[in-house]
Amino acid sequence: MDFFREQDIARRNTRLLTALFLLAVLVLIGLTNLILAIAVGLSQSGEQGLVLSGDLLRFDTPTIFAVSACVATVIGLVVLYNWVRFSQGGRTVVEALGGRPVVSDTRDSYERRAQNIVQEIALAANMPVPPLYVLDDERGINALAAGVSPGDAVVAVTRGAMVQLTRDELQGVIGHEFSHILNGDMRLSIRLAAMLRGITFIGDIGAVMLHSGGRRSRSSSRGKNDAGGLLVVGLGLYLVGLLGGLMAGLIKSAISKQKEYLADASAVQFTRNADGIGDALKVIGGYTPGTLVHTARAEELSHLFFGQVKHRLWMMFATHPKLEQRILRVDPHWDGNFIKRAPDHRALEPKLADEMGLNQARRAITTALPAAMLISLDDAPAARQPDQPEAELPELAGAILEEAREPLGAMSLILGLLWQERSQDKQMAFVAAAEIRGLELLVPAKGRELADIAAELRLPLIELCLPTLKTLSEPQYRTFKGLLLNFMGADGQVDLFEWCLYQLVRHYLDPQFITVRPRAKFGKLAQVSGSLAVALGTLAELGLSDTQTAFQAGAEALDLPLAMPPREQLGVKPFGQAIEQLAACYPLLKVTILKALAKVAEQDGKISARELTLIKAIAAVIDCPIPNTMLQAALHNR
């Protein structure tokens, strides 16, 4: 599966969504004018009765334009309000559904297992670990991913999914949700939710008018005379709202179904286990509550979920394909029998994790780490297998993994990666000035512990810490961000690894605490040729091969006439500015950029751990995380 191409398809589907939405709005405007014309005719006909044709003629053009403008404005404001609200991050959407964030140090064994799975898949996808939420009151087996970009994405699962599914089955479901993040589906889904809320809002106005007209007619005889028109308008708008709801269902169905097939297929890529997602679907078919979700907002956001949240009499309104069709796509030899699994009501209550379970969780994460880390594209498949013995696994387990779940521990790990013995006096002075209790003891200890950590382990460690850092308060984050800048400049210079670390933290945490302005979009590589030259030139300076030869290899991959910038223009600051501009390119261009960077890096025979770490950091900063299998194919496509 080409995730880059799927992102481009998602962008094209946005155009289809916009066209369908505008068509629906035009239909609603026409029907609203018709309803108001009839209401005006009723109010003016008196005892003579209604002559429809004449009354419609008296509903003149200026009035039609005024009504149309009013309806369009109301719909537009509702869409804008919901778009702004949903764009605040995936947590806003999930919390509206009643989701509760799973704390990083949870002792509930089911929550801990789900959290570990999210961490494993995020590491395999080369992206920061998104926060996990749980829908506590939902017995159905379901899940969703929400957010506008990977930086503000969250994953939520129902309590029923946590309890009823085995580890492999839950891994398949969560892998399905990760594919929506990587495919670029989330922005489309949020935009769809905002637009459809605007369509159905007309019905809400009608319901309010019906209620108001009913109360007025009961209050007095004069109220009965005045309420007739109001009731007619209210009933008409309510019926228009119902029609809008039907159109909204058709639009959701048209946009969503094919994406579910793609997400099921990519879940197999993530987990390398077709039985996981296949068995999860079979369990749902044999489980009485199925995928039903009862929270009030579920229907409005049904297209975000793993499975259908409500029963549908007509599949034309379904947001998901039939269960049998999805199973056959991932298991063509399925015998047609579902997996029967009775609800375990006692297990729906929180269950404390025992020490054995915690140790198993640590081993699972530790096993996932080497699968997510490629030393080079040539020897990685043979050198690092996910089933290698525990004794050969890297020393990034146990206490360090536990510390990444605590805010103080996560801060100390990130700062420890920037620790320098020669600048320790300055760095300790910065820590003391920050006045974060306990940090002055942890930072030097972690700095010495992580001093010899392999280059390919640094990026996954940072990604593990990011969800915990999202739990900081805004003042705490600003203090921590200031510490990062001070640590980076303690020795008077900033290297590329320090740039990678800071950019990842800033890119994924700034939107949580600081309003970030939207970026312009570039549809052609020629529009960012200057930034491409800086990026290729900086990477060429890192390698062992001839700098000019390496740069030209990258320029040829881009099919652009680029010139190698002077060395004085290739510092960390211009490199950072260049990557920021490249992040504003359309999704399908980004794979070309990554391939060009790989061409530069491989000119000396292979891509080193340092070069690969830089390329992976760039991929994360430009919002283009992909699974390692896709990374290998994208970069190694010779």
> Maximum CA pair distance of the chain?
97
Q: What is the reported pLDDT for 584?
A: 86
Of 370-384, 385-399, 506-520, 573-587, the range with the highest mean pLDDT is 573-587
Picking from 265, 460, 450, 458, the residue whose alpha carbon sits closest to that of residue 367 is 460
Please answer whether residues 117 and 133 qualify as being in contact, where contact means their C-beta atoms are separated by less than 8 angstroms: no
Please answer whether residues 268 and 173 qualify as being in contact, where contact means their C-beta atoms are separated by less than 8 angstroms: no
Q: What is the reported pLDDT for 42?
A: 60
Structure tokens, 419:
């620790």
For CA atoms 354, 359, 362, 363, give the dihedral sign: negative
The whole-angstrom separation of Cα 38 and Cα 232 is 8
- pLDDT surpasses 50 at 392: no
Q: What is the reported pLDDT for 160?
A: 92
Picking from 477, 486, 488, the residue whose alpha carbon sits closest to that of residue 511 is 477
Q: What is the mean pLDDT of residues 537-543?
A: 83
Q: Measuring CA to CA, how many Å separate 106 from each of 136, 351, 570, 633? A: 14, 10, 45, 37
Structure tokens, 382:
């043979």
Q: Which one is catalytic: 6, 111, 138, 177?
A: 177
Q: Measuring CA to CA, how many Å separate 97 from each of 134, 153, 305? A: 10, 15, 11
pTM: 0.70
Q: What is the mean pLDDT of residues 222-238?
A: 63
Bridging pattern class, strands 100-101 and 132-135: antiparallel
Q: What is the mean pLDDT of residues 570-584?
A: 86
Q: What is the reported pLDDT for 347?
A: 60
Structure tokens, 593:
């950029």
Provide the β-strand partners of residue 144.
Answer: 156, 305
The whole-angstrom separation of Cα 112 and Cα 99 is 16
The whole-angstrom separation of Cα 535 and Cα 68 is 50
Which are the contacts of 556, defined by CB distance < 8 A and separation ≥ 6? 599
Please answer whether residues 621 and 571 qualify as being in contact, where contact means their C-beta atoms are separated by less than 8 angstroms: no
Q: What is the reported pLDDT for 627?
A: 56
Which range is least confidently modeled, 257-261, 405-409, 445-449, 506-510? 257-261
Q: Considering only residues 32 and 340, tell me which one the structure prediction assigns the higher pLDDT.
A: 340
> Residues of CATH 3.30.2010.10 domain(s) within the chain?
92-183+265-346
Bridging pattern class, strands 143-146 and 100-101: unpaired
Q: Is 177 in the active site?
A: yes
Q: What is the mean pLDDT of residues 507-522?
A: 73
Q: Considering only residues 39 and 55, tell me which one the structure prediction assigns the higher pLDDT.
A: 39
**pLDDT per position as a tens digit, 46-61:** 544 444 444 444 556 7
DSSP-derived letter for residue 514 is S
Bridging pattern class, strands 154-158 and 132-135: parallel
Q: Considering only residues 379 and 32, tell me which one the structure prediction assigns the higher pLDDT.
A: 32
Q: What is the reported pLDDT for 636?
A: 52
Confidence category of residue 78, pLDDT binned at 50, 70, 90: confident
**pLDDT per position as a tens digit, 90-144:** 888 898 889 999 987 788 889 989 988 998 888 777 777 888 999 998 999 999 9
Q: What is the residue-averaged pLDDT of the chain?
A: 76
* Residue for token pair 């996954």: 460
Confidence category of residue 172, pLDDT binned at 50, 70, 90: very high
Structure tokens, 61:
């053009």
Q: What is the reported pLDDT for 49?
A: 47
Which CATH code, of 3.60.21.10, 1.20.5.510, 3.30.2010.10, 3.40.50.1370, is assigned to 92-183+265-346? 3.30.2010.10
- pLDDT surpasses 70 at 573: yes
Vertex 467, ends 267 and 168: CA angle to 5°?
A: 30
Q: What is the reported pLDDT for 50?
A: 45
What are phi and psi for residue 49, nearest 5 degrees? Answer: 85, 175
